[in-house]
Amino acid sequence: MIELIVGSAILLAGLYFAWWWRSPQFRERIERPKHEFLRQAQEFDDAGRRP
Amino acid sequence: MTVARTSPVLVHADLVRAHTIAALAALAIAAAFGILVSLQFLYPDLSGGSLVFGWGRLRYAHTQGIMLGWLGNAFLAFMYHAVPVLTRREVTSRALGWWLFGLWNFVAVIPGWILVLSGVSQPLEWAEFPLAIDAFIVLALLLAAVQFLPGFFRAGLDSLYVSGWYILGALVFTLLAYPMGNVVPEVTGGATSAAFSGLWIHDAVGLFVTPLALAILYYVIPAASGRPIYSHFLSMLGFWGLFFFYPLNGTHHYVFSVIPMAAQLGAIAASAVLGLIVVIVVTNLLLSLRGSGFIPRDPALRFVALSVVFYLIVSLQGAAQAQMAVNQSVHFSDWVVGHSHLAMLGFATFAGIGGLVHAWQRLPDARYDGRAIEWSFWLLSVGVTVMVVDLTIAGLVQGGLWQQAVPWLDSVRASRPYWAVRSLSALPIVAGFVLLGVGLFTGRRGAGAQAIKATRGPGEVQPVAPATRARGLAMAYVVTGVAGVGFFALSMCLLGWWPGKVIATQVAATSPPNLLQLTPDEQRGRLIYAREGCAYCHTQQVRYLPDDIRRFGAPTLAWEIQFDRPHLWGTRRIGPDLSREGGTRSLDWQYAHLFAPRSVVPQSVMPSYAAFFDGSPLQPTAEARDLVAYLQSLGRARELAGPEGEQHAQGALGHDHMAHMAFESPVLNAHPAAPRAGGERPSLARVASIGNGPQLWRENCAGCHGAGGAGDGPAAAWLTPRPGDLTAHSYQRDYLERVLWEGRQGTAMPAWRDQPPASLVALMAAVRRFSVDAATVPDGATLQRGAVIYANHCVQCHGTSGRGDGFAASSFKVAPVDFTVRRPTLAQGMSAMVNGVPGTSMAPWGDRLDDVQMRAVVEYVRNLFREAGGD
């Protein structure tokens, strides 16, 4: 019985996590740094190439 | 003006340039050390007996130079470029940067090399620089934290890009781990010292090198390709996974050791999980490379792309080799050397070059030659691949041979072609490094910026919404601080402190009372052993494995090595394990071996330590005497504990099945060369010779007995008693079998129990062919006269029947000759009578007997010989 409860809890937690990860709010928040970084890196390069 | 504002943020171009130059200079020096080390396997006398450029010291300087000199400077150069971009803030201080540069290079790396080459070092893997240097490295790491970290904290952690996390993690964790790995093994003893040392071996790579290399990969891939990484979430999952599991891997360097099995199994499991996490990291990185082409155009991107592939291979390899089934056959072999080169020369060096090239392209007015760097990439790729594949195969061959009942030297002989290929692989690698230097220091000024324009990807930057400060992430400082220190503390507790406690309890319970410690000269010898890097070729831990037990004897118990500060367990076996070396060889053999290793072991690749002698093994300096005294002490404590000590320890260990393997060896010292009197030996009567006696003779015996068996080999003059003149004797077959199996106690003649029976038969045939002795038929009167003289003067030692079993015989270091199994020629017999036999109890008789009497007694003992028979 205990295995069933723990197993179900893990499964539900996994499903919730999957939904959370796919949710736009989460993705926007968690993936934001990669866009921010790319912008910073390109700004740096562009500044370096300015005449 | 060395500082340039090249962008919205200020990058100190002079510091990028300075650390790049220092990195390449250190790379050239450390690589040269490595090449000299590899060449000494092929030409062991290459250093000409110099201690400064001896194998051990160069090996210490090589690895420390690569980690601190090359990679340390490359990472610093990259951070001076990357941290301002990541944080949009200047680093703390340019002046601090120059202090850090000076401290790192002129107070730590260069003096570290000088001290190590001068003999001031510690025998700990990845921690060879002495403690005085370590203090400055910790200070430099502190300065680096002050230089780079404040920008991250000011920028806020809630939107920190993954490269920033890795830089933060590396600086914080290395500051914690470096003192632990360098100091704790010195103050704890034996197995506990090894447990902490094992932690550091993994932390050095996992918490210093890997995070900074990954910071470069995560930085350069999007910055050079113009596309964001595939998933920041996966990158953070990888970050926390790596920092949690990396420190928990340490004990996998000492699988099958006396360190508690629970710690070993935990580390093995953590290694497997780490492999899975690396798969996540690498998947994310490879998906981030999509669209960059199979071979990216940008040289920096090209280097980091291959670095990702190397990272995947080395991590999966590491996870696999930690597993017991693999570890038992490849550990201590060149497989591990290949693995470490794949990590440091493949993954980390390619990442480091990628980071340097990326930063260099963006330096104003820096020279840049893209074609040279492209060539550098191809040459290094070929060189590293050849080296790693070669060493991996070599490791499998060595491991396979060690698991078979074949002589140790077979593994050395089989390794030679692989060692040659490894040395040859240095050619493309050196050419690659040279072209890297050409690419960065020649070419047109500003060509790097043009290369960026030509190779950069689409640069589709998505609009980024203003940061929304998440409630949970506002606590990020606290969470990361607690987690960071917590992860490290957890690893210290689980793989260092707790095993140490268990080991201490075991030592207290199993150690015999009144344990004999090392004498002052043995202690000095131990320091010499450590200083010269002996532990990097000879392990001092017999593992809890049937193969180790069969080859070396009883596995090492924790109490045997409790005073070893730091431990000398070693990580590689080029020569055999020395845990039970004491009493295995004679003193004169040890001196001859140190002075000219190939004089007594023609196939040996050990470097000469002639510097410890005043021109001859007969004139050892105090250092040679101390070193040999130490070697002769190895294994002594357990020998002296005797059966009572074994029973006591066995009782105290309870039901620990693994620990009881320590008592499963039929003999404490199973070294095949250790002289042994009596006991069972296999019958060779029906074994056919394989006919390679002359070759076996050259490879094993000629060093002492000479090519023609006349007892005049290169080492003969240094051994007392001198090696037997085999031309001047006839031997009974059974006697030869016995000597080959048991050795000759009190002489330098070792046993050859590791030789296959067919080889022993072939050797016996070779020995018997040397003899010029022939039976003679003396007249009866001579025999009678000889018998009387023999009865009056010789029976006390040689026994009434000439079997060497007189009543005084047992008190002699070298047993008197048994004339029933060994017949000297007339000339040899007369020589022994006139001159005696130095090194034995045979005195000269020329002043007591005249020539006729001596000849009569020689004829008499010759007549005792029986061609066949024996006991």
Least CB–CB distance from B228: residue in A28, A35, A47:
A35
Q: How high is the pLDDT of residue A48?
A: 63
- The partner residue sitting opposite B459, judged by closest CB among A28, A42, A47, is A42
Residue of B nearest to A47 (CA): B7
Contact B76, B104 (CB under 8 A): yes
Q: How far from chain centre, in Å, is Cα B533? A: 8
**CB pair distance less than 8 Å for B7 and A30:** no
Q: Which of B159, B236, B453 shows the shortest C-beta gap to A36?
A: B159
Q: Tell me the residues of chain B between 361 and 380 that have a Cβ less than 8 Å away from chain A.
A: 362, 364
- Residue whose C-alpha is closest to residue B199's, from B240, B266, B252: B252
Does the beta-carbon distance from B8 to A47 stay under 8 Å?
yes
Could you tell me if B159 lies within 8 Å of chain A, comparing CB atoms?
yes
Burial class for B644, CB neighbours closer than 10 Å (0-12, 13-18, 19+): exposed
Instruction: Note the helical H segments in B425-471.
Output: 426-441, 447-455
Q: Compare CB distances from A40 to B85, B231, B453 and report the shortest one's residue.
A: B85
Q: Give the minimum alpha-carbon distance from A3 to chain B in angstroms, rounded to a whole number.
A: 23
Q: Which residues contact B276 (CB under 8 A, 6 or more apart)?
A: none
Cα–Cα dist B65/B23, whole Å: 10
Show Cβ contacts of residue B451 under 8 Å, excluding neighbours closer than 6 positions: B298, B299, B361, B368, B370
- Tokens 């893990």 locate to A10
Q: Give the pLDDT of residue A51.
A: 38
Contact B210, B71 (CB under 8 A): no
Q: What's the token pair of residue B3?
A: 């500082």
B588 is written with which tokens?
């004169």
Q: What is the pLDDT of residue A30?
A: 81
- Dist. CA B627–CA B618, nearest whole Å: 15
Asked whether B358 and B366 are in contact (CB, 8 A), the reply is no
Q: With a CB-CB cutoff of 8 Å, which residues 442-471 of chain B face chain A?
A: 449, 452-453, 456, 459, 461-462, 464-465, 467-468, 470
CA dist list (Å): A41 to B218, B222, B442, B521, B607: 12, 8, 26, 62, 52
Residues of B in contact with A45 (CB under 8 A): 7, 223, 362, 452, 456
Portion 618-677 of B in contact with A at CB < 8 A: none
3-state class (DSSP) for residue B320: helix
Q: Which residue did the predictor score with more confidence, B193 or A2?
A: B193
Q: Is B246 left (phi over 0), alpha (psi -120 to 50) or beta?
A: alpha
Chain B CB contacts of A44 below 8 Å: 6-9, 85, 362
- Closest of B502, B655, B515 to residue B191, by C-alpha: B502
Closest CA to B451 of B384, B524, B366, B547: B366
Neighbouring C-alpha atoms within 13 Å toward the C-beta of B468: 10
Contact criterion met (CB < 8 Å) for A37 and B161: yes
- Asked if B149 and B225 count as a contact pair (C-beta separation under 8 A), the reply is no
Considering only CB atoms, which chain B residues are within 8 Å of A37?
A: 86, 161, 163, 222-223, 228
Residues of chain B positioned with their CB less than 8 A from the CB of A40: 85-86, 88
pLDDT of residue B475: 63
Q: What is the pLDDT of residue B1?
A: 37
CA B95 to chain centre: 40
Residue B649 tokens, joined: 């320890």
Q: How far is B80 from chain A (nearest CA, A)?
A: 14
- Please give the pLDDT value at position B461: 63
CB–CB contact A34 B161 (8 Å):
yes
Chain B residue at shortest CA distance from A21:
B233
- The pLDDT of residue B279 is 97
Signed CA dihedral, B499, B502, B508, B509: sign only: negative
**CA nearest to B231, candidates A14, A41, A30:** A30
Long-range contacts of A25-32 (CB under 8 A, 24+ apart): A27/B233, A28/B465, A29/B468, A29/B470, A30/B232, A30/B233, A30/B236, A31/B228, A31/B231, A31/B232, A31/B233, A32/B159, A32/B232, A32/B464, A32/B465, A32/B467
Selected residue of B80, B218, B362 to mutate for chain A interface (largest A Cβ count, 10 A): B362
Q: Tell how far CA B245 is from the center of its chain.
A: 25
Q: Which residues of A touch B468 (CB under 8 A)?
A: 29
Q: Give chain A's contact residues with B (Cβ, < 8 Å).
A: 21, 27-45, 47-49
Min Cα distance A2 → chain B (Å) is 26
Distance from CA of A45 to the nearest CA of B (A): 7
List of chain A residues whose C-beta atoms are within 8 Å of the C-beta of residue B453: 49
The DSSP secondary-structure symbol of B468 reads P
Identify the residue whose tokens are 């590293």: B384
Q: Which long-range contacts (CB under 8 A, 24 or more apart) does B810-813 make?
A: B812/B746, B812/B840, B812/B841, B813/B745, B813/B746, B813/B840, B813/B841
Q: What is the mean pLDDT of each run of 10 residues along chain B (871 residues)?
A: 54 96 98 98 93 96 98 98 93 97 98 98 96 97 96 82 94 92 93 94 94 98 94 92 92 94 95 96 96 90 97 97 96 97 98 97 92 97 98 97 93 97 98 98 88 70 61 64 86 93 93 89 97 96 94 94 93 95 94 96 94 96 98 94 90 83 89 86 80 90 94 94 93 92 93 92 91 85 94 94 91 91 94 92 92 94 81 41
What is the residue type of B335? W
Query: How far apart are the C-alpha atoms of B236 and B163, rounded to whole Å?
Result: 10
CA distance B487 to B495: 12
Residue B620: DSSP 8-state? B
CA B37/CA B55 separation, integer angstroms: 6
Rounded Cα distance between B842 and B831, Å, is 11
- What does chain B come to in residues? 871
| Alpha-carbon distance B236 to nearest alpha carbon in chain A (angstroms) | 9
- Which of the four pLDDT bands, split at 50, 70 and 90, describes residue A12? very high
* Cα angle value B267/B270/B274 (rounded, 5°): 135
- Within a 10 A sphere around the Cβ of B80, how many other Cβ atoms? 27
By C-alpha distance, the chain A residue nearest B229 is: A34
Residue B355, pLDDT score: 98
Query: What is the pLDDT at residue B578?
Result: 96
Contact B9 A28 (CB under 8 A): no
Which pLDDT does position B569 carry in this prediction?
Answer: 95
Work out whether the CA dihedral B700, B703, B707, B708 comes out positive or negative: negative
H or E segment to which residue B313 belongs: helix B299-321
Q: Does B219 lie at the interface with A, CB-CB under 8 angstroms?
A: yes
Identify how many contiguous H helices and E strands chain A contains and give both numbers: 2, 0
| Option in B7, B162, B461 nearest A44 (CB) | B7
